[in-house]
Structure formats: C-alpha cells, structure tokens
Amino acid sequence: MKKHVSSSMSVYGFTLLELLITIAIIAILAGMLLPMLNKARDKGKEIKCIGNIKQLALAWSGYADDYGGRCIPTYTQSGWTIVSHWSGEVKDGVVVNEGGLNPYLSNSKGIRACPAHPSLKSGGFTKGNGGYGYSTYVGAIQVGSFYEPIPASLSMIKAPSSTVVFGDNATVENDGSYGEYNELSAPTYPTYPGTPVPSMQFRHDGKAAVAWADGHSDSQMLGCSAGDVYNGRSELEMKLVHKIGWFGYSLEEAQKYFSLNK
C-alpha cells in the first residue's frame, strides 16, 4: 500500500508553519542580540579611546618635565605663520607626525586616532590630532606677540586631578560632517570675554574620553552646550544632533574643570 505525504509536510519533516515559526524566532533573537553586540563594540572603542588619550596625557607630562614645568603650547609661530602644533610640525601646510608631543609617545606612528571619530574632512591646518583637542587653558592661557599662545606651567594647575588637558574633539563642517580641531574649547575664553563655540564631542554613546592633568583618563557624560553663532547652529542642535558641548550641568560647573585656579 502506498503512503501519501501531506502537501503541508516537507521531505525533512517540517510543516510550513513550523518553518515560519523557527524563522521568526531566529529573527527575534537576532534583533535582541544585535543591539547588544553593537553596544559591546562601541564600549570597546571607548576603552581604546581612553587608552589613546591617556598616552597623550603621559606625553604631555613628559614634555613639561623636559621644559622646566612649562606645558607644550597649543601651537608655535614664526611671525604670523604657524610652524608647529602640539600634535606635530607643519610642513607644506600639513601637520606631520614629527615634533610636538610625538617624540614623547610610546609608539612610532604618532597620535593614535579615536576609533569612534567619524570621517575627518578638515584640511591639513589642524589634521593629525586624532580627533582630540588640547585645553586652551593649558596650552594658551595667555597670548604674546602676534597672538602666539603662551602655555601654562604645571605650578599654575592647582588641582591636577580635576583639570582637563585633552578630550574628544570635533568641529561641525558646513555640510554637517565632522572635522579635526586641535583646541579644546572651554565654556569661557582664557583671555577674552564670551562663550566660545563648543568642540568637545561625546561620541561614545553620549560620553567623551577625557585626560586629566594628573595623568588619569576616563569618560564623562554630556551635560551642557552652547550655540555656534558663526554658523547659525542652536544650542539644542549642537547638543542633541552633534553631541558637542561640555560635561557638567551648567556652563559655570563645566568651566571649573578647565580653570587652573579652583
């Protein structure tokens, strides 16, 4: 006698309904696991970034030790021409991995870039800093002739464990992309009145890697921001869309982490 196989049964013994249920379960599990995997990947980038910026803090400290306690300036000039940044010398209009803090880094490839920094579109003028900015209160506490920055000395930093030196940094370009910027803006200028355009970018799930004057590094949550008056971007756009601002619940609180006299 011949056995008849149901039209709803496959040769492998699964009905169409059972196959669809299995596929649905796999899709649900994948949907649950993917955010977790992305979260783990982003956390890995954050940890690597904190390690990168700690190396900058150690290099910065080594430079100051060699120069009698004087911190490296944000940049140096010859007349009106910038010849070197903290991140490297300027050659043919481009910052290269020579000079600056490069000799004090533990690797031969220069500054390691933040792994979470988006595509960098800025030109050679500030390129080469890896997506990190150097506090204007440390690298340019005063200005000299031709507005050349005069850096702070270690003795001026009264609370090293709560004074920012480096942080994740970016500028918003005209097309909405992000570029490198070597100066980490504080809520106020060291030498002028007013509020600068913020530049610290909290690109690690709302957090930014920060290096402090005592050599430790960590990550901080975005707290406050300010508008970009030069390009017509509001405070809300800078904070919510571009994740740029400062940690601290107010500009006054955020400023405390930059000021040298606590």
Q: Which tens digits make up the pLDDT trace of 81-140?
A: 888 999 988 887 778 788 899 999 876 566 888 988 866 555 545 677 889 999 999 999
pTM score above 0.85: no
- Give the whole-angstrom CA distance, residue 44 versus residue 129: 21
Beta strands in 169-259 (DSSP E): 171-172, 178-179, 183-184, 200-201, 207-212, 217-221, 244-245
**Are β-strands 164-168 and 81-85 bridged in parallel, bridged antiparallel, or unpaired?**
unpaired
Helix (H, G, I), strand (E, B) or coil at 96: coil
| 149-195 pLDDT tens trace | 899 999 999 999 999 999 999 998 888 888 888 899 999 998 878 88
Region 67-91: mean pLDDT is 91
Cα Rg of the chain, angstroms? 25
Instruction: Please count the other Cβ atoms lying within 10 Å of the Cβ belonging to residue 33.
Output: 10
Burial of 88 (0-12, 13-18, 19+ CB in 10 A): buried
pLDDT by residue (tens digit) across 241-255? 999 999 999 999 999
